[in-house]
Amino acid sequence: MDVVVTVPRLPAPGETLAGGSVHQVPGGKGANQAVAARRLGAPTVLVGAVGADGFGTVLSGFLDGERIDTAWVRSERGPSGTALITVVDGGENTVIVVAGANAAVSPARVTDAAIRPSDVVLLQGEIPAETNESAARAARAAGATTILNLAPFRAPSRELLAAVDVLVVNETEFAQLVGLGVGGGGAAPGIEELLRSGDRLAAPDGAPLGDVVVTLGADGALARIGGEVLVVPGRRVPVVDTTGAGDCFCGALGASLAMGLAPAEALERANAAAGLAVGRFGAGPSMPTEAEVAEALSAV
């Protein structure tokens, strides 16, 4: 559950600042990505957990209302995963995530779920690392496609990198992934150069990276897929709240690949979806529909 407070600016250390409003909005990276995929037309199964609390009840109801298969979403003792979010004027945000029930999503939970060769398995960093590794191995064994969103960032193991088909990171996460320190504005040219470097692209421990997508916010995205570098132009859109935009991109990318679209078209569709999501408040409920994305793409 995202507990979102709007503020005119971020407070200084030790300062008490009056907020404008407070909202409780269904969120969580796995749930956001599942909602984005389902709204874009892909049948979607979510494997995860909610807490035995009021947030868990609301989150479960929200997912059911989105027609997501929640047979693998379990209720665990203790609190649901919670994010404390501040949104400043202009839409930028800060996020503090408490794992809660997400920490109980075990490797066995994932490997027990049936994975088919036609599936796209979408993973992210709000569940234990060993669970992602088990899921990636199971997906590889089944012949499915695996997308790993390295957010929140933690250095992936060699085993995980070897089992994942596509990595999705933002600018800062990419810099951390390849050992460049903290990224930020102005880093895009360096990112494109690294993506074009082929075999030289690797993690700091020397583990080679396969296909990589780097999201750049309003500047679009860069990707290396099958050895080809793809450039997705930015979309200038009104920004209300950037919370969940990366999740929207990942869910839309996964849905598009599952529906058989070529990587370039899937990336363009994902970028358009994320552009729509930032124009709305909140995370899960802000994900656009298939019709809305089609309209946005036709308007370019």
pLDDT at residue 236, rounded to an integer: 85
Predicted pLDDT at 181: 54
Surface-to-core class of residue 16, CB atoms within 10 Å of its CB (0-12 exposed, 13-18 middle, 19+ buried): exposed
CATH label of the domain that carries residue 134: 3.40.1190.20
Confidence at residue 239, expressed as pLDDT on a 0 to 100 scale? 87
Q: Which two tokens stand for residue 166?
A: 């596509």
Residue 145 annotated in ligand binding: no
32 assigned to a ligand binding site: yes
Residue 206 has pLDDT above 90, yes or no: no
pLDDT at residue 187 tops 50: no
Task: Tell whether 119 is in a known binding site.
Answer: no
78: left (phi over 0), alpha (psi -120 to 50) or beta: left
Dump pLDDT digits (tens) for 162-171: 999 999 999 9
Quote the domain boundaries for residue 279.
2-298
Q: What is the pLDDT of residue 286?
A: 93
- Does this model's pTM top 0.85? yes
**For position 281, what pLDDT does the model report?**
86
Residue 291 CB neighbours (<10 A): 11
pLDDT of residue 94 exceeding 60, the answer is yes
Reported as a single tens digit per residue, the pLDDT across 105-118 is 999 888 777 899 99
Peptide bond into 152 cis (omega under 30): yes
Residue 188 clears pLDDT 60, i.e. is over it: no
234 carries a ligand binding annotation: no
Nearest to 72, CA basis, from 19, 119, 108, 38: 108
> How many domains is the chain built from?
1
286 is in an annotated binding site: yes
Q: Over the stretch 26-84, which tens digit does the pLDDT of each residue have? A: 999 999 999 999 999 999 999 999 999 999 999 999 999 999 999 999 999 999 999 99
Categorize the per-residue pLDDT at 197 as very low, low, confident or very high, splitting at 50, 70 and 90.
confident
218 is an annotated ligand-binding site residue: yes
Say if residue 194's pLDDT is above 90: no
203 is in an annotated binding site: no
Residue 185 has pLDDT above 60, yes or no: no
Q: How confident is the model at residue 127 (pLDDT cuts 50, 70, 90)?
A: very high
For range 5-16, the mean pLDDT: 91
pLDDT digits (tens, 9 = 90+) for 246-295: 999 999 999 999 999 999 999 999 999 999 999 998 889 999 999 999 99
Q: Is 61 annotated as a binding residue?
A: no
The Cα–Cα gap between 27 and 100 comes to 13
Distance CA 1, CA 59 (A): 7
Region 186-205 average pLDDT = 71
> Is 134 one of the annotated binding-site residues?
no
Q: Helix axis angle, 245-258 relative to 263-277, nearest 10°?
A: 150
One-letter amino acid for residue 276 of the chain: L
Q: pLDDT per residue over 209-257, tens digit each?
A: 889 999 999 899 999 999 899 999 988 888 888 889 999 999 999 999 9
pLDDT (0 to 100) of residue 183: 43
Catalytic site residues?
247
